[in-house]
Amino acid sequence: MTLQFVYNGQDFVTEAQRSSGNGLAPEPSNFDLTIQAGWSERMNRGLFRYHLDDLQTRIMPGPHGYVAQLNIQRGLQRRKPEEILSIKQEFNANQFNFNKIDPEEVIFEMTKVVEGRKEKGQLHERWRVVVLVNVSPLEFGHCLFVQEPSCCLPQVLTSFSIQVGIESVLLSSDPGFRVGFNSLGAFASVNHLHLHGYYLNHELQIESVPVKLLVPEKGFYRLLDFPAGFLFYTESECVVKVARAICQVTDFLVESNTAHNLFLTRGSPPSDQIQDKKDHCSRKGVRIAVWPRTSCFGAKDESAFNVALCELAGHLPFKNKKDYELSTEKDVKDVIERYLLPEAEFHTLEQHLTRHLTDL
């Protein structure tokens, strides 16, 4: 019988802090314990395509502080990606999807209980997400969040799936727990709606990088550093509202055939300045970065690393030792630059999105 993980808003961790260097690791939440125990048990049972030991890791010299990791096996052993031809490609039951996995890969079913009055006298509402191991992990605890697999939804974000991603980060007491999404055309390998979750015990600049406010009523910001993108921020009481605003952006990107990646992480409140030490370490809320980018269809594959959700956030899983050891920050930026929208195109998109969100 599948393990059930039932939670409500009282389970959110509202006082996470990033250590300033020598602090103790946070006490794991029930969410962390459930994922980590289930993931480790399946790793020990050999359900993964390869055994993931502690990854060789280095922080690249340079202002961006890229976290480079050597993960050769993921490059060699992961399942061949589905051929993607369109950002709006329909779900195809004949292709690999998460209804075809080994049931033993499922860690638990995740259900939120929402208290409140309903029209027909119901006292609460339930919704379900299946959490399963990623059998080709890029880091410890790498799992997938799949919204109602039997609904066979294509890889297009819904307000519900965004809310699940944000709330998963809030359920973790570990500021190193991250969630992300690759759209079709942005290195999504399976056209069945899912988000990635994993632990990375290194600070990323996206957690505190300065931003510029674009649409105050929607909490819509532009990142002020490379790579060019947008940002939302929420604490536990505003998750539904922010998830809807993010979905308005991703819906716009899908309709305009613009590929995109999302990265969700504990982060400091938005600011247009470099923050003081106290604000910099604050992790009460979740930062959600949205990067529009050029579409990649067919079999394009970088030899060093692909440019998807974690790479844009500054986490770089390298496929071979030479690139891992020799690549510089400039090399990384040159690769990423090839996948970003041209500057003029990005600014046009920014103007359209700003008007779009203002008019809604």
Sign of CA dihedral 86, 196, 335, 224: positive
Three-state SS at 68: strand
Angle at 64 between CA 225 and CA 25, to 5 degrees: 115
**SS3 of residue 261 by DSSP:** strand
Cross-strand partners of 315: 67
Write down the residue that tokens 């314990």 correspond to: 33
| DSSP run (H or E) holding 247 | helix 239-255
Instruction: Report the C-alpha gap between 279 and 298 in whole angstroms.
Output: 43
- Locate 296 and state its tokens: 């990649």
351-357 own/partner pairs: CB under 8 Å, 24+ apart: 352/252, 352/256, 353/214, 353/220, 353/230, 353/249, 353/252, 354/214, 354/215, 354/220, 356/248, 356/252, 357/214, 357/215, 357/218, 357/220, 357/245, 357/248, 357/249
Whether the bond between 227 and the residue before it is cis, its omega within 30 degrees of 0, is yes
Give the strand pairing for 4-7 and 106-115. Answer: parallel
Catalytic residue status for 356 = no
Q: Which one from 64, 142, 194, 260 is the annotated catalytic residue?
A: 194
104 phi and psi, to 5 degrees? -70, -15
Tokens 């075809």, residue located: 100
Write the DSSP assignment of 82-141 as a string of letters. PP---TTPPP-TTS--TTSS-GGGEEEEEEEEEES--TTS-SEEEEEEEEEE-SS-SSTT
Catalytic residue numbers, as ranges: 194
